[in-house]
Amino acid sequence: MTDNKWWRGAVIYQIYPRSFLDMNGDGIGDLPGIERRLDYLSSLGVDAIWISPFFKSPMKDFGYDVSDYRAVDPIFGHIDDFDRLLRHAHERNIKIIIDEVWSHTSDQHLWFHESRMNKTNAKADWYVWADAKPDGTPPNNWLSYFGGPAWTWDARREQYYLHHFLSSQPALNLWNPEVQEEIFDIAKFWLDRGVDGFRLDVIHTYQHDPELRDNPIRTADDPVPSDMPLSNPMSYQKRVHSMCTPHVIPFAKKLRAYVDQWPDRCLLGEAGGDDSEAIAASYVQGPDRLHMAYSFGLLGSHMTRQDIISTIKRVEEKLGDGWLCWATSNHDTVRAVTRTAAPEHLQKEIALMIMALGLSLRGSYCMFQGEELGLPQAKLAFEDLRDPYDIALYPEHAGRDGGRTPMPWHPEKPHGGFTFAHEPWIKFWEPHRHLSVWSQEEDPQSVLSHYKNFIAQRKQLPALIQGDLSVLDSAEPFVAWVRELGDQKILCVFNVSPEPHKFALPEGGSYSIMNNISNGVTFDTTTHAEFQAYGYGFFEYTKSK
């Protein structure tokens, strides 16, 4: 064993493979497409890439419904393509994290076909089955993320099975030791191939209350869910029995102990729920739990001053010695540039502020493909939607597909250079053309160039990677904190406003502005700095004696 904590403070780039780059012209991105852009990712300076599921699947939830955990789905390529991608990524010192969906499978998985045959087969207890109530209704009041009951009747077994998402995604029974051992064997398959870690999809749904008790009603005094809109009926409940139970922690410890047999690997857990910061913290406190977790605190927010401050304070109060991986956008949310509701002419400025904010928090940072281009959310018509969640909750929630549209590589090529010979699986959004990679690479003032520069400069600033964080009591409309490690102290200040404002520097210090990573700020006195709309400034400082 070694102690190479490469993941601690890492910059991770999330790839949604079906929308990244299509190399065979079928309109769907693939593993060879990711390999083709490794030099681009290397030039960006990221430490690792997280690849959303590419396993064999009927694609009813676009890969998050796995039918074979050890096989690459043909639309993404072949296992040899993955091995080549992994090898070439490692040659560029880029780690590979793959997305494991171990809370549920597809109903097309052979395990489920066997499990549903009867109540006595070898895999009868591999999924969560329960008898109906005396009146024939589901066992309890648990609801699905996709709307409606979390239970579906199976006539062959004359029982209900649990599903937290689509009815075609039955929940695995992770209370069953045989299922746990199978999960470990799947982990071994990929770890032996050389993957550097796993992103654990919806780990908060892994183990339910074995007594199947009803969820209580959420009251006005309870936290507002950050992982779903209030238009979702699941938000009416406190999910204390269907998911988010403390039972997950012992399993997380077993998984950590198993994965630790391979040097320098990491486990990144996705933690949703009514208080996702507290749940995330519970999975990473102590050296025997997950290496990292991330919550929906900033993913579900409008990035207002109050959102940012309250989320950071909640995390810092609960995290202890644990480690968080921050994210401001991913494949399940509206892109952050659009969530802020910033004026259109200030979208570049808000994109840069989000970048600097995310990369200066205490923790690692995961950026979603296209975030480095400042992409806003694509606006799709109802007929262009593909995601069952967006379709089910339309029009109040239509946020996943708009963030999953094809990556724009070139402004003059069909579909932005994403695919060359076919209509893409989901519509390319034309306004993204002028924000393409090709359009930004040679422009030193582009969002992409700012990302490359900030990530490179950050590598030289230990306080921003490993340092402590102290939130300051700043005036509206600023958020500010200090990152400190040893003798290095950095004051980080952000104007979360579409208007210019003046910031009074804290008394008792001597400040020097770090112009190479600041933007839209003028520092011409020892007491104040002028910030443009969404400007941000980083100041090295020493306290007066």
- Does residue 344 have an active-site annotation? no
Catalytic residue among 73, 201, 307, 401: 201
Taking the C-alpha atoms of residue 524 and residue 59, their distance in angstroms, rounded to an integer, is 57
Q: Is residue 19 part of a domain?
A: yes
Q: Is the Cβ–Cβ distance between 109 and 142 less than 8 Å?
A: no
The whole-number pLDDT of residue 234 equals 94
Tell whether 345 and 277 lie within a shared domain. Answer: yes
Identify the DSSP state of 218: P
Classify residue 322: in a domain, yes or no: yes
Q: Are residues 312 and 362 in the same domain?
A: yes
Would you list the DSSP string of 260-282?
A: TTSTT-EEEEE--STTHHHHHHH
CB neighbourhood size of 468 (10 A): 13
CA distances from 148 to 19, 141, 307, 344 (A): 29, 10, 30, 37
Asked if residue 368 and residue 489 are part of one domain, the reply reads no
> Is 125 inside a domain boundary?
yes
> What's 522's domain CATH number?
2.60.40.1180
β-pairing verdict for 48-51 and 95-100:
parallel
Question: Which among 117, 150, 173 is the end of a domain?
Answer: 173
Q: Is residue 530 within 8 Å of residue 500, measured between CB atoms?
A: yes
Question: Do both 306 and 451 map to the same domain?
Answer: yes
**Six token digits for residue 161:** 């099975």
Residue 334 belongs to what domain range? 11-103+177-458
Single out the catalytic residue among 81, 227, 270, 372: 270
Domain boundary residue among 173, 189, 212? 173
Written as six digits, the tokens of 435 are: 């924000």
The residues pairing with 129 across neighbouring beta strands, listed in sequence order, are: 161
Task: Tell me the three-class secondary structure of 133-180, residue by residue.
Answer: CCCCCCCCCCECCCCCECEEEECCCCEEEECCCCCCCCEECCCCHHHH
Is 507 a known active-site residue? no
Structural domain includes residue 4: no
E strands in 58-142: 68-72, 95-100, 129-130
Joined together, the tokens standing for residue 361 give 């928090």
Each residue's pLDDT expressed in tens, for the chain with a length of 545 residues: 456 899 999 999 999 999 999 999 999 999 999 999 999 999 999 999 999 999 999 999 999 999 999 999 999 999 999 999 999 999 999 999 999 999 999 999 999 999 999 999 999 999 999 999 999 999 999 999 998 999 999 999 999 999 999 999 999 999 999 999 999 999 999 999 999 999 999 999 999 999 999 999 999 888 888 888 888 999 999 999 999 999 999 999 999 999 999 999 999 999 998 888 999 999 999 999 999 999 888 998 899 999 999 999 999 999 989 999 999 999 999 999 999 989 999 999 999 999 999 999 999 999 999 999 999 999 999 999 999 989 888 887 767 999 999 999 999 999 999 999 889 999 999 999 999 999 999 999 999 999 999 999 999 999 999 999 999 999 999 999 999 999 999 999 999 999 999 999 998 888 999 999 999 999 877 789 999 999 999 999 887 65
The domain boundary, picked from 173, 193, 225, lies at: 173
Pairing of strands 159-162, 151-154: antiparallel
Q: How far apart are CA 33 and CA 23, in angstroms?
A: 5
> What pLDDT, in 10s, does the model give residues 473-512?
999 999 999 999 999 999 999 999 999 999 999 988 889 9
- Whether 113 and 44 map to the same domain: the answer is no
The closest alpha carbon to 15, from 326, 405, 433, 331, belongs to 331
Residue 463 domain-assigned?
no
Q: What is the pLDDT of residue 188?
A: 98
Indicate which CATH number applies to the domain containing 431. Answer: 3.20.20.80
Q: Which helix (H) or strand (E) holds 469?
A: strand 468-471
pLDDT of residue 421: 80
Structural element, H or E, at residue 124: none
Domain count along the chain: 3
- Residue 545: per-residue pLDDT: 59
Residue ranges of alpha helices (H) inside 295-426 are 305-319, 336-339, 347-358, 388-392
- Asked whether residue 221 falls in the same domain as residue 332, the answer is yes
Q: Are residues 270 and 124 in the same domain?
A: no
> For position 3, what pLDDT does the model report?
64
In this predicted structure, what is the pLDDT of residue 1?
A: 43
* Shared-domain flag, residues 40 and 151: no
Residue 343 Rama label (left phi>0; alpha psi -120 to 50; beta): beta
202 and 83 belong to one structural domain: yes
| Domain match, 236 and 337 both | yes
Which structure tokens are listed for 277? 């910061």
Containing 255, the helix (H) or strand (E) segment is: helix 248-259
Residue 430: Cβ-neighbour burial (10 angstroms; 0-12, 13-18, 19+): exposed
